[in-house]
Amino acid sequence: MNGPKTEEADVVRPVCALVVAGGSGLRARTSDRDTAKQFEDLAGLPVFAHALRTLAAHPRVECLICVLPADQINNSEVRDAAHRAAGASVNLIFTVGGASRRASVAAGLVCVSGSYRTVLIHDAARPFLTAPLIDTVLAGLSRAEGAVPALPVSDTLKRSNDGLIVSGPDRSDLLTVQTPQAFRTDAISGAHRKLEAALEQGTVAEAAFTDDASVLEWAGGACVAVAGDPDNIKITNPADWARVTRAIAYQQEGLDMAPSIGHANAHIQRETRVGVGYDTHRLVPGDGVWLCGHFIAHTHKLDGHSDADVGLHALTDALLGAIGAGDIGTHFPPSDPQWKGAASHQFLTHAGKLVGERGGRIVNLDVVIIAEEPKVGPHRPAMLTAVSQALGIEQSRVSIKATTNERMGFVGRSEGIAAFATASVELPNDP
């Protein structure tokens, strides 16, 4: 009842990262550029090496696999740049890509050692990935076999018929996806092998698989969407070079990159909002209490329509408050019998999903539990894990504290437990 079944040991295992640089980069070439986009110089490094450098610096990444075109695999300048970017702290492996992106990923996955149960797959043409984005997608694996950074579609979509605009799809549930995408290694490797067999039999078309999430989904696996990064742009067309050059200049000056990028969401300024939550439940005879997604054996339990987890209820209300989405009772009314005895991590996950759908990002959560007993301290690590997994965020963004009420009031008389929470959320400020 307290969240995903993923073992903590799986979550902390080291990661292998695969950087796909095997394409020809034709679409991004201009009249004076005949070099594939991933090998163009960008602030003193080839484009692909920027991704290698960020991934190598991440504490979870211990292995890097660089997938290169056949005509570049022995290029000493390319390999030297890769080694400079990766440094000596990770194991760097080079391999030859295939005729398509899908084939290049499959070639890279063959090189992933069985000791790496998690793999990140990243397009070399996205040089601006960040450590927080890596943390976010890795945390998302606690909820599914794959985790994909995504942004909501902000522009109206239309279809064209012989140049005439016709009605378009509803954008409310549409997302644009990015890389790095994180996967359980056995799941994504098995999916690619299954797809390879289907392609050989001619039962599917390769054009249908534009990213690795689509491969896993086709094979029957599940992917979760986590908050993407508007600055994580991809070099696709010649016009993108000017945007990337401006972004590098802003980055080097320590300024916000968004005004320089010019992608669909770049005009949106972002602001930080704060929400507050409070909850309390009565203690009645029982076998234990749920607090922040963790069960603690005790002589009493918390009485409520759901599992009465005051910590998660307060956090849920804080997140909903930060995005102006009502309160927990609005979304999960106690009069609805389907929520009788429900595990409260469902409420928190729902609030986190609403943040993501609004293009938001959870900056931090802080909850204080007020109880005379049971003692919270020994259970804090398990609570941190439960909250971070429910939301797909790193534990460093979660704070859980506890205090007593000095034997005063209903809490002091051990008649109940209370919790206060605050949530800070970064949201697009799009008037």
Cis peptide before 180 (omega within 30 of 0): yes
Q: Does an H or E element contain 222, and which?
A: none
pLDDT per residue over 54-70, tens digit each?
999 998 999 999 999 99
Least confident of 152-166, 180-194, 296-310: 152-166
Q: How far apart are CA 131 and CA 240, in angstroms?
A: 23
H-type alpha helices, 202-294: 212-218, 240-252, 258-261
What is the model's pLDDT at position 231? 83
Do residues 48 and 66 touch, judged by C-beta distance below 8 A? yes
- pLDDT exceeds 80 at position 262: no
- In the predicted model, what is the mean pLDDT of the chain? 84
Q: Model pTM?
A: 0.59
Segment 210-232 shows an average pLDDT of: 92
Do residues 232 and 178 touch, judged by C-beta distance below 8 A? yes
Report the percent of the chain where pLDDT is more than 70: 86
What is the model's pLDDT at position 37? 79
Q: What is the DSSP string of 117-182?
A: -EEEEEETT-TT--HHHHHHHHHHTTTSSEEEEEEE--S---EEETTEEE-----TT-EEE-S-EE
Give the strand order in the sheet containing 361-370: 300-303, 269-285, 416-429, 361-370, 398-403
Q: How far apart are CA 281 and CA 301, in angstroms?
A: 9
- pLDDT exceeds 90 at position 41: no
Measured in degrees and rounded to the nearest 5, phi and psi for residue 323 equal -105, 10
What is the model's pLDDT at position 108? 95
Is residue 6 very low, low, confident or very high in pLDDT (cuts 50, 70, 90)?
A: very low
pLDDT per residue over 79-137, tens digit each?
999 999 998 889 999 999 998 999 999 999 999 988 899 999 999 999 988 988 999 99
Q: How far apart are CA 342 and CA 306, in angstroms?
A: 5
Cis peptide before 4 (omega within 30 of 0): no
